[in-house]
Structure 1
Amino acid sequence: MVIGRHRNTRAIISLEAIKHNVATQISKLKDGQSLFAVVKANAYGHGMIPVAKAAKEAGANGFCVAIIDEGIALRESGIKDPILILGVNPASEAVCMAKHDLSVAVGTLEFLTEAQKLLQEEKQSLKIHLALDTGMGRIGFRNTEDLKEAVDFIEKHSDQLKCEGVFTHFSTADSKDPAYFEKQSQKFDELVGVLKKKPKYIHQANSATALWHPNFEGNLVRMGISMYGLNPSGDVIDETWNLEPALSLESELVAVKEVEAGSSIGYGATYTSSQLEWIGTVPIGYADGWLRRMQGFKVLIDGQYCEIVGRVCMDQFMVRLPKKYDLGTKVTLIGENNGKVITAQDVANYADTIHYEIMCNITERVPRIYK
């Protein structure tokens, strides 16, 4: 996708905030515990390579991605630390992953058997993290019998398959009710007990687990959304670490006009002015990730909340202004403006979604500016 470097819209990324959040998490670790920074999905929309380098500078020991290509991109950027691919990948790519020194999550014997043959042919070995499905229902071994069979196969083919880790993922670590979390944790302990020899990494802690269940088992934290300064629970549970949001989304007024009462604005004529009004145009739209359903939401201009009127267009939207503003006046969609703040959670609440989606929806057309 073409990046809109010559447009008046930008995402401002504070690498200092990333470093602060990583350092805060590291300060909470116990002896022998490590931190892997989760930088999948373009670092949750923040920019994978700059964020990874900032996290490493702050003390991260490794990285997690979702797909092979993300891991390769990190390697090509010069990163030599451990990289774990969390998503399901085809066994046909086993040699590719091995050659790039990428570790991979595995939850089926079928993957192991196919991968082993290919690795043997190419005289390669692949690092494996056994995924355990303790209640997420997504990927991983669900019972001790299947897990034992996989472990035995890995031991039999240790020249090609190296068991580097074992892990699970909690589905309710950000819930006020700990019952299901505890059920998953017990299941994890049961399954890990199958392993005759414990691997280097035993991990179950995502951001929410590290925040609200600090006595978690294992020696590795996968730091995801909290690294970007966002509360994993949204606004359900308070976080007390003073995380710093790393992303602000800004634009500018590119057109300002006065319209008479009865004027319709935007596609479908869904908004009609009730009196003489100032209307401003902002050059960001749903093609940039600013959802069409954000009609009626308020952005910040000169410290004033200004309502989005009419439908959000592909490349721009219109706002009702309290007065005439100069062209080029800053518009804040996420972040601080003259002492007032719009959070990613505010946007998510209005859009009836989660802040993860808001961040990831910001397309590559919006340039990332790092500071």
Structure 2
Amino acid sequence: MASNKPAPEAPFETDFFGVEVKTERAWEEWNPTEDSVRPVRGRHRVMKQRGGLARSSTVLGVGVIAAVGAGGMATAQSKPPVSISLPDSIADNLPDAKSLPGVGSLISDDSSDADAGNTAPLTSSTLAADTGSRPEAQGSAGEALRARILQQADQQQSEADAEAKAAAEKVAAEKAAAEAKTQQTAAETKAEAAKLAAEKAAAAKAEAERLAKLAASYALPTSSYTITSTFGEAGSMWSSGYHTGLDFAAPTGTPLKAIHSGTVKSAGWSGSYGYRTVIELDDGTELWYAHQSSISVSAGQKVSTGETIGRVGATGNVTGPHLHLEVHTPDGTGIDPMAWLRGKGLTV
């Protein structure tokens, strides 16, 4: 088998960044053989030409962009500013930073001490301004939020306390008003009762005075008697079937007096009534005195209260000596003599 020369090494060198860079070397003739094309173990690279640009140049550009991007993305809190050094051949071909859009306004020609802080890397100053990413800034924001929450909680608690206080005051006011109304009602009821009692007492007093005045002008027909029969009693001994008067039993000869002043309407015998005297009062009321043993007045005579008009007897339809007294209204209707006498203030 023919022996060939070993394959020449690729014309690459490593630059400052550890990137393989194409070097200008002379090519030698190489005839590949079975041994020379055998796969080489380990890491190897094959350079290809594309559009007249070497792959190593592309890798170099990517490395520069990555380095610049890494420097721009580093934060002031985690990493210090990264200094990038480029070969003179590349640095001379970079555009002026002031001519870049959006960057020239950030660079000032004034090199005074006041602007010394602007010489720091752009990435550092930009990220340092983002205070929200700092732990102490985040702590301050948390404290502010906590303070706002506590303030809102205090305000809500104050409002709840105020509402509870207002509700309690309203309930107390309603309770006080109800108690005052109850007391007022009780006082009014008591006053009304006292008024009614006073009116009742006044009416009773007035009635007593009236009865006393009437009693002075009215008198019982006899001073000594016993009530034996009352008005309305039923029995066969009376022709009407019931008793039409009030019986005052007394010994024969007991004096009979005029109950009230009036005029003698009739005096004499009257059948079953025996000797009877009728006195007509000024209001037309008639008083009948029956069963007398004797009569002391005559028709047309004026009599006064307490004047003797006759005596108790047993004449007519009787079973014993007594005064049979009847009271008739002006229209002739017979009424209960006991109730009429009591209405005049007399006690029977």
Provide TM-score, normalisation by structure 1: 0.20
Greater strand percent: which structure?
1
Higher relative contact order (CA 8 A, sep 6+): 1
Q: As a proportion of its length, which structure holds more helix?
A: 2
> Which has the higher Rg, Structure 1 or Structure 2?
2
